[in-house]
């Protein structure tokens, strides 16, 4: 699927303040199985209203989302937090568009981006050791630009009521999906995942809309039983029937320190105001509230994974996917 080049839309000042000011957002992209993966990210203010696009950076050391976006560029980002960022007005904003991925790092664009990154994430340590440690993490970063097709903006953080729409009209609600061959029942311990997720301040569910773009919805975890996590579906944002869906629950401190992320894939079943998410996979991490530890971990992981990616041909495979998508 080739991204459309004519996707420029306009949005008002209060929406711009949110999408250019949130420190942490949730990004979602499609899976080959017909679901959507949701992950917390820090876009660092990349919202070019004149060009009609938002964006983020990512490291070539962590290629899973790049591989999927090169196959299917439809993506979404939810702006749902005001903590520790620069936006203060309330609201929940969902932006959808087709991602443009250029796998070649742009040194000039990165150099211009670093001051904005430090405004959100704090100063980057420098010196002989840090320059060596963070080389792959900082220099092997690429930009993901997302010319927007649609923005939905709610006045409250729970996305209740009717949103303001900027861009393309919404499609009808997505049809129910066929259940997976292995069944829909939970495949991991539900009580443990409930304890990990329900106490985190931000919980969002992602699934595919009728047009194939990911939809991201804030949810409240009301409890759990043998079927999975019980979600409050009273806002009407969850479509009827069953479908693949992922959940991301997270917390963070200033400069995106003190990170706690817990995510998983699973099956969502909705009937009226009853919604049950049955988890099939789960992953996550906790970063202590010490920025130097976070920088050490980022640098070491990027070094190790870049080395592995080059050795196993992952980088070459990504370029082959990009060439195939562009018709080269």
Joined tokens for residue 12: 């008002």
Contacts of 52 (CB under 8 A, 6+ apart): 7, 8, 9, 10, 147, 148
pLDDT reported for residue 325: 76
DSSP 193: H
Task: Please answer whether residues 262 and 249 qualify as being in contact, where contact means their C-beta atoms are separated by less than 8 angstroms.
Answer: yes
Query: Which residues make beta-bridge pairs with 216?
Result: 206
Instruction: List b or e across 164-193, with b for residues whose CB sees 16 or more CB atoms inside 10 angstroms.
Output: eebbbeeeeebeebeeeeeebebbeebeeb
Which ranges of the chain have pLDDT less than 70? 1-7, 326-328
pLDDT reported for residue 223: 96
At residue 185, φ and ψ (nearest 5 deg) are: -65, 155
Task: Please answer whether residues 70 and 29 qualify as being in contact, where contact means their C-beta atoms are separated by less than 8 angstroms.
Answer: no
DSSP 252: -
* CA atoms 155, 90, 245, 30: torsion sign: positive
Nearest to 76 by CA among 88, 63, 65, 91: 65
Burial class (CB in 10 A: 0-12, 13-18, 19+), 235: middle
Spatial distance between the Cα atoms of 43 and 87, rounded to a whole number of angstroms: 14
Residue given tokens 């994974």 in the structure block: 305
Spatial distance between the Cα atoms of 211 and 173, rounded to a whole number of angstroms: 9
Spatial distance between the Cα atoms of 191 and 152, rounded to a whole number of angstroms: 34
Spatial distance between the Cα atoms of 73 and 221, rounded to a whole number of angstroms: 30
pTM to 2 decimals? 0.94
Domain ranges for the chain: 13-288+298-326
Task: Please answer whether residues 286 and 236 qualify as being in contact, where contact means their C-beta atoms are separated by less than 8 angstroms.
Answer: no
Task: Please answer whether residues 289 and 257 qualify as being in contact, where contact means their C-beta atoms are separated by less than 8 angstroms.
Answer: yes
Spatial distance between the Cα atoms of 294 and 258, rounded to a whole number of angstroms: 9
Nearest to 221 by CA among 206, 199, 239, 237: 199
pLDDT reported for residue 75: 98
Contacts of 249 (CB under 8 A, 6+ apart): 196, 197, 198, 200, 202, 203, 204, 261, 262, 263
Contacts of 111 (CB under 8 A, 6+ apart): none
The fold adopted by the segment(s) 13-288+298-326 is Pnp Oxidase; Chain A (2.30.110)
pLDDT reported for residue 273: 83
């Amino acid at each position: 699927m080739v991204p459309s080049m004519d996707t420029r839309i306009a949005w008002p000042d209060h929406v711009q303040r949110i999408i250019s000011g949130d420190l942490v957002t949730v990004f979602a992209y499609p899976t080959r199985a017909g679901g959507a993966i949701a992950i917390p990210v820090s876009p660092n203010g990349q919202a070019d209203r004149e060009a009609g696009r938002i964006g983020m950076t990512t490291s070539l050391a962590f290629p899973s989302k790049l591989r999927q976006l090169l196959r299917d560029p439809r993506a979404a980002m939810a702006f749902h937090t005001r903590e520790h960022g620069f936006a203060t007005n309330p609201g929940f904003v969902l932006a959808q568009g087709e991602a443009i991925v250029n796998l070649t790092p742009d040194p000039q664009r990165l150099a211009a981006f670093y001051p904005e990154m430090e405004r959100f994430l704090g100063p980057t340590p420098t010196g002989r050791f840090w320059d060596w440690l963070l080389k792959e993490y900082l220099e092997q970063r690429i930009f993901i630009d997302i010319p927007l097709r649609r923005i939905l903006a709610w006045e409250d953080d729970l996305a209740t009521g009717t949103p303001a729409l900027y861009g393309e009209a919404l499609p009808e609600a997505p049809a129910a999906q066929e259940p997976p061959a292995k069944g829909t029942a939970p495949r991991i311990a539900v009580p443990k995942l409930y304890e990990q997720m329900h106490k985190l301040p931000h919980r969002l569910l992602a699934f595919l809309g009728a047009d194939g773009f990911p939809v991201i919805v804030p949810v409240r975890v009301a409890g759990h039983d043998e079927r999975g996590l019980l979600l409050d579906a009273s806002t009407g944002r969850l479509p009827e029937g069953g479908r693949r869906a992922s959940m991301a629950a997270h917390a963070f401190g200033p400069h995106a320190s003190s990170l706690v992320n817990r995510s998983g894939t699973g099956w969502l079943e909705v009937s009226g105001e009853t919604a049950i998410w049955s988890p099939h996979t789960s992953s996550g991490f906790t970063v202590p509230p010490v920025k130097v530890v976070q920088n050490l971990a980022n640098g070491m992981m990027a070094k190790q994974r870049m080395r592995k990616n080059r050795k196993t041909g992952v980088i070459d495979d990504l370029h082959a996917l990009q060439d195939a998508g562009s018709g080269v």
